[in-house]
Structure 1
Amino acid sequence: MFKIPLFKAFEKDTWIKPFLKQYKRSLYLALFLGFMTFFCAGALMFVSGYLISRAASIPENILLIYIPIVLTRAFGIGRPVFRYIERLTSHNWVLRLTSTLRLKLYTVLEKDAIFFKRNFKIGDILGLLAEDINHIENLYLRTVFPTIIAWILYAFVVIGLGFYSLWFALVMALLLFVVVFVFPLYSVLLNGARQEKEKQLKNALYTDLTDNVMGVSDWIFSQRGTDYVTSYVANEQQLYDIQNELRKFNRIRNFLLQLYFGLIAISLILWTSQRFVGDHGGAANWIAAFVLSLFPLIDAFAVLPDAAQETNIYKDSLERLNGLAEKAEVSPTTLPEAAALDLRIKQVSFSYPNETKNVLDQLDLVIPQGEKMAILGRSGSGKSTLASLIRGDLTPTKGSVELAGIPTNQLGDSISDTIGVIQQTPYLFRTTILNNVRLGNEAASEAEVWDVLDRVGLKTLVEQLPEGLQTMVDEAGLRFSGGERHRMALARILLKDTPIVLLDEPTVGLDPITEQALIDTFFSQLSDKTVIWITHHLQGIDQMQRVIFIENGKLELSGSPQELFETSSRYRKLKSIDEGR
C-alpha cells in the first residue's frame, strides 16, 4: 500500500509519468505474467492436493484422477515459464525506463552544470547519480509490481471463493484485507519514519565522508583528525541504532504475519471440512486442495509490508529528481561592460539542505578589484563554501555575493570568463599538451601557447619532449609532477586572461621547495589580477595584501600579514608552527 506523500510526489512528477504511457504495453504484460506465475503456483498446489487425496481414496475410475494429473503437469510447467518470462519482461521494462531516465539526468546536468552545485554538496551529487535512479528501479521491481499483482490476486481469490460460498468469501476478503492493506499501512506508519531517517543519515554520512576525504589535508594540518573520526563514529552509531530498530520491528512484524497466515489456513480447514462432505474421502479431497493452495500465495502477500514502508525512500528520490529539473532552469545574466569587478559579500549566511547549522553566518566582506587576499581557517570553517559562493556554484541562504553588482549565481557559464580557478588537483585530459592548455582559449595560436608555457616555467620541459606541444598526456596527467600540473593549470588561466583568480589550496601535497617556487610563479604572473587564495599554509603569505580568518562561519580576523603579526598572538603562533619553529 502506498503512503499518501508518494502519490503527491507523482502528481507533480515530470520524470516517471511520461514513460508509463510510452511503455504501457510492456507494463501490462509484466503484470499479467506476474499474476499468472502465482496463479499457476496456487493452482498447482490446489490440483496436487486434490490429486493426492483423491488417489488415496481408491477412485472407481482412473479418469477421475487423469485430468488432475494433466493439470498438475501443466501448472508445474507453467509456473517457472511464466516466472521466467515475467522477469525478462519486467526487468526489460524497468531497464528501458531507467536508461531513458539516466539519459535525461545527464542531459540536465550537462546543460546546466554550472548551477548544479548551488543546492548540493559533492557528496549529494554523487548520491543523486549513484542512488536515486536505482531507487526508481526498485520502486517498480520491489513495490509497484508486487503490490499490483497482490491486489489482483486478492480480488481473484475472493471472487473465486464466492462461487463456493458467499459468506466465506466475505470472511476471507476481511482476513486477506488485513494482510494486503492493514499490515502494509502498519509498517508505513511505524517503520516508514525510521526508514526515511535511515536514508537521511546515510546521505549525511556519504556527503560528509566524501567532502572530508577530499579535504583530508585540512584535518591533518589542523591536528583535528581525531575529532573528525569521533564525530563520524558517533553519526555512524546513530545509523546503526536506527537500523537495529528497523530489523527488530521487521522480525516482530514478520512473526505476526506468519501467525496470521496460520490463522487463515485454519479457517480454510474449518470451512472446507464443513462445506465439502461426501463419500470416498470427498472432504479430504477438498481440504488438501484449498489449504495447500494458500501457501504459494503467501509469497505474493508477505512482501507487501516491506514494499509499502520503502515508499518514503522512493518519494524522496522522486522529489530530488524533479527538484533537480526545477533548479536547472535558470536564465543567466551578463556583467555590464567596463564595470569595476569588486566582489561584495553582503551579510551572507549559508546552510546545506537538511542541515540546521549555518556553514557561514552573516559574513560581510568586500574584495576590491586587484586585491591579493588569503582566506585561512580550519577544515569545516566555511572557506571552501565561501569559494563556491564566489564562483556562483552555490546560492546563499541569506544575503548575497555580488560581482560588479550582479549576484554571482546568476552569471551562469559566463562566470568562467571572469573568475578562473586553480584547484588542489588540476585535471589534465587524455589529449595533447596543446589541447590541454587551449582549454583556456580554444582560439589561441601555438605562439600564444608557447608564451604562457614560458611564463609558467614549462617551455623548456615541453621543448625537450619528442613531439613538443603534440605530446599526448595520459589520463589525469600522471606523467607530470604535482607542481607541473599546477603550472599547466596556471597556463590555462593566463591564456584565458580572467581578471579574478581563485586559488583553492593549490600547493597541498607539494614539498616545501616546489611549493615556494610555485607560489612565486603564481604571484609574479598574477600581479595585475585579483587573487583569492584559500590555504591552510602560511608559506608565501607575506606576499598577500590582506589575510582573513574564518572560524565557525564567521570572520574572526582581518588585516595585512604585518598587522596580524603585530596584533594577533594566534597568527604569530600559526606562523611559527608553519615555519617549524
Structure 2
Amino acid sequence: MKHFKNLMAHDTWVKPYLKRYKKLLFLSLFFGVLTAICAAALMFTSGYIIDRSATHPYNILMIYAAVVLTRAFGIGRPVFKYLERLRSHNWVLKVTSDLRRRLYHVLEKDAAFFEEHHRTGDILGILADDLGHLQNLYLRTVFPTIVGYLIGLLVIILLGSFDWRFGLLMLLLFFVEIFLIPLISVNVEGARRYHQKAINNALYVDLTDNVMGASDWVISGRHQDFIQRPKPALKQLRQSQLKSKHFGWTRDFILQIVFLGMAIALIIFTNLHLTGSQAQANFVSAFVLAIFPLSDAFIPISTGFDELPLYADSIQRLNDLTPKPRTLPAQQMLEPKDFQQLTLKQLQFEYDADSPVLIKDFNQTLKRGEKMAVLGPSGTGKTTLLQLILGDLTPQSGEILVNDTNVLALQNERAQLFSVLNQSPFLFNTSIMNNVRMGNEQASDAEVKAVLEKVQLKDLIESLPDKYDTVVEEAGNRFSGGERERIALARILLQDAPIVLLDEPTVGLDPITEQELLETFFKLLHDKTIVWITHHLQGIELVDQVVFLTEGDIEMQGKPNDLYQHNAHFKQLFEMDRG
C-alpha cells in the first residue's frame, strides 16, 4: 500500500484523467450509491410488508404505501445499476482511449529511443495487459471501494443516531469488513499477484520472440521445442492463479462470517429497541433484511485491493515509458517544393560516454536530385546516420541542415520532407489500395493505381480475383519480398517527399531481382534526393556519390566510376561483388 501511494504521488498516467472526467466520475459514484440504497430500501420495505401483513391489517391501504415503495425501489435498483454501468464504462472507455492515444504518441515521438531500450514484447505487454489493468483499476477497485465506504458511512451514521454504542459496534465490524481484511488480503496476496504479473510480462516477450522466429524453429526441426518452451511458465502461472483462487474463496468466506455478525448484531439491536410496541415491531424484519444487499457493496472491496500490485506494476511501467527529454528548437515550416539542399555538417555521434564514437566529423552535401550510397561493415553507424538525418537522434556536435534550417527545427514537417524505405517495409492486413494510400490519405483511386502501374505491379494486381481490393495478409505475406518492396515504393511515390532514405531495401533478394528493383527505384525517384544505406556494391553505378564508413570514419568517397578507376580497394570490392 505504501509503495502504491508513493507511486501515485508521482504518477502522470492515471491522476490527470481523474480530473479531466470528474463529472462522469461523480455521476458513476452517485448512481453506484443510489443502486446500493435502492437495494437496501427494497429489502427494507419488503421486510416491513412481511411484518405488517403478519398482524392482519384490516385494510390493504395500511400497507399500500409500502407496496408502492417496494415497486419503486425494485424498479430503481436495476435502473440506477444500468446508469452506473453506463456512466462508469463510458468514463473508463474515454480514459482508456486517451491512454492508448497517449501511448501511441509517446512511442511515435521517439521511436528510436524505445527501439533501443524496450523489446517488442514489452510494448505489446503494455498495450495488451497494462492498459487493461488500469481499466480494471477503476472498475474493480476505485468505484467499488468509494461506493462501499460511502454506504458504510451512511449505515453507521444511521444506526449511531439510534444508539451510539451500537454505532461503535457496527463501526468495528465495518472496519474489519472493509478496511482490515482488504489490507490483510493485499499484503498476503499482493506478492503472489505481482509474481503472476512478472510471469505474464515474460510470456509476452517470449511469445513475441517465438512468433518472430517461428520459421527458424521449424527449419531447425525443433517445432516441438517451440511448443514446449512456454509450458513451464504457463504451469507455474496456473498454479499461482489456483492458489489465488483458493485464497479468494477463504477470504470471501471470512467476509461472509463477519457480515453474518453484522446481521446478528442488527437482530439483537432491533429486539432491544423495536419491540416496545406493535408499531415498532413491524420494522424488525425491515432493518435486518436491509443489511443483506449491502454485502454486494462491501465484499468486492477486498477483491479490488488484491489487484493493487498489478495496477502498481502497470502504472510503474507506463511512467517508466518516458524517453530522455529532448529540447527541440522552435519549429519552422518548409514547403517540399522549396527544398534545395541537404547538408551533413561535421557530425559526431555516440550513444553514451561508454560507447564508441559511431560517427566522426562526417561532412556531405547533397543537392536536390543527387544520390548518395553509404557502405560499411555492420556496426559502423550507417543506420544511425539515417536516424540523425531524420532527427530521431541528436548529434553531440555538428548539424543536419535542410536548406539552411536545422532538421530538428523541422520535425513537424518531417512527413512532408522525408520518405523512408527499409529492408522490411510493413504492410497491413488490408487491401493493396489501403496500404499504398498510407503515403497520402487524400489520394484518389486513380492516383493509387497510377503509382502501382509505375512500380510495375499493374499486370500482377489485375490478374488477381479481387484486383486492387486484394488483402495483402499479415505483414504482406500474400506477396514476395520484391513485390512487397514495390508496394512500399508505390507508397513513397504517393507521399512525394523530396528526400528519400533507403535502408538496405533489397537485402535478401536474389541478384537479378535486386538489380531490377534498384533500377526501378532510381528511375522512379530520379528527381528525389536519396541517401541509400547498402551492404554491397550491387547497383552502385546508379548513384552520384559513394561513401565508405569504417569505425565512424570515412575510409573513401567519390563517384563510383572515379573510385573504380583510381582506387584499388574499391575496384577489388566491386569485382568481388560481381563474382
Q: Percent identity?
A: 39
Q: Distance in 2 between matches of 1:44 and 1:264?
A: 19
The correspondence for 2:315, drawn from 308, 314, 318, is 318
Residues 421, 501 of structure 1: 8 Å contact kept: yes
Hey, what does 1:235 align to over in structure 2? 233
Task: Name the SS for the 1:117 alignment partner.
Answer: helix
Q: 1:483 to 1:119 in 2, by over 3 A?
A: same
Name which of 293, 307, 312 aligns with 1:296: 293
What residue in structure 1 maps to residue 544 of structure 2? none
1:303 & 1:322 partners in 2: Cα distance? 28
- Comparing 103-112 with 39-48, which one deviates more in the overlay? 103-112
Matches within 5 A, 1:268-283: 268-280=266-278, 283=281
Q: In the alignment, what sits opposite 1:484?
A: 483
Q: d(CA) in 1 for partners of 2:185 and 2:257?
A: 17
Note the C-alpha offset of 1:329: 4.2
Match of 2:26 among 9, 25, 28: 28
Q: Which residue of 2 aligns with 1:327?
A: 323
TM-score (norm 2): 0.66
Distance 1:244 1:532 in 2: 53
* 2:206 pairs with 1:246: no
Q: CA separation in 2, counterparts of 1:112 and 1:188?
A: 37
Q: Name which of structure 1's ranges 126-135 and 206-215 shifts more when overlaid on structure 2.
A: 126-135
Q: Work out the CA distance in 1 between the residues paired with 2:386 and 2:257.
A: 61
Instruction: Identify the range of structure 1 (111-120 vs 297-306) with the bigger mean alpha-carbon deviation.
Output: 111-120
Within a 5 Å distance, the mapping from 1:556-575 to structure 2 comes to none
Q: Is this contact kept in 1: 2:120–2:205, CA < 8 A? A: yes
Aligned residue in 1 for 2:17: 19
Match of 2:302 in 1: 305
Cα 1:406–1:227, aligned 2, differ >3 Å: closer, same or farther?
A: farther
Equivalent residue number for residue 126 of structure 2: 128
Letter matched to residue 305 of structure 1 = S
Q: Secondary structure at the match of 1:213?
A: helix
Cα displacement string for residues 262-316 of structure 1 (whole angstroms, at most 9, x for unaligned residues): 2222222223223332354954x34322221111001110101111122222223
Counterpart contact for 2:418–2:497, Cα < 8 Å? no
Judged with a 3 Å threshold, the aligned counterparts in structure 2 of structure 1 residues 338 and 175 are, in CA distance, closer, same or farther, namely closer
The equivalent of 1:203 in structure 2 is: 201
Distance 2:510 2:460 in 1: 24
- Residue 119 of structure 1: aligned partner: 117
Change (3 A) 1:372 1:27: closer
- 1:510-521 matches, within 5 Å, as 515=510, 517-518=512-513
Distance of 2:426 and 2:19 partners within structure 1 = 45
Alpha-carbon distance in 2 for matches of 1:9, 1:157:
33
Q: 1:52 aligns with which of 45, 50, 53?
A: 50
1:141 lines up with 2:142 in the alignment: no
Provide the aligned length of Structure 1 versus Structure 2.
483
Find the residue that maps to 1:14 and give its secondary structure. coil
- In 1, Cα distance between equivalents of 2:60 and 2:482: 90
Which residues of 2 match residues 142-541 of structure 1 at below 5 A? 142-280=140-278, 283=281, 285-324=282-321, 326-327=322-323, 329-331=325-327, 373=377, 422-424=422-424, 426-427=426-427, 474-476=470-472, 480-486=479-485, 507=508, 515=510, 517-518=512-513, 531=534
CA distance in structure 1 between the partners assigned to 2:394 and 2:498 by the alignment? 21
Contact 1:45 1:289 survives alignment (8 Å): yes
2:3 — aligned with what?
5
Q: Which runs of 5 or more residues in structure 2 are unaligned?
A: 330-341, 363-372, 400-406, 523-530, 537-547, 549-579
8 Å contact kept, 2:36–2:77: yes
Report what 2:72 is aligned to: 74
**Root-mean-square deviation (CA), in Å?**
5.1
The letter of the residue matching 2:480 is S
Q: CA deviation at 1:39?
A: 0.9
Instruction: Give the Å deviation of 1:364.
Output: 11
Q: State the match for 2:553 in structure 1.
A: none
Contact 1:391–1:419 (Cα < 8 Å) also in 2: no
TM-score using structure 1 length: 0.66
* Structure 1, unaligned runs of 5 or more: 349-361, 376-385, 394-400, 508-513, 534-544, 546-581
Distance 1:434 1:10 in 2: 41
Q: Name the stretch that deviates more: 104-113 or 177-186.
A: 104-113
Distance apart, 1:124 and its partner CA: 2.2
Please state whether the residue corresponding to 1:217 is helix, strand or coil: helix
Q: Is the 8 A contact 2:47 2:289 kept in 1?
A: yes
Q: Which amino acid aligns with 1:89?
A: R
State the Cα distance separating 1:245 from its structure 2 match. Answer: 1.6
Letter in 1 for 2:323: K
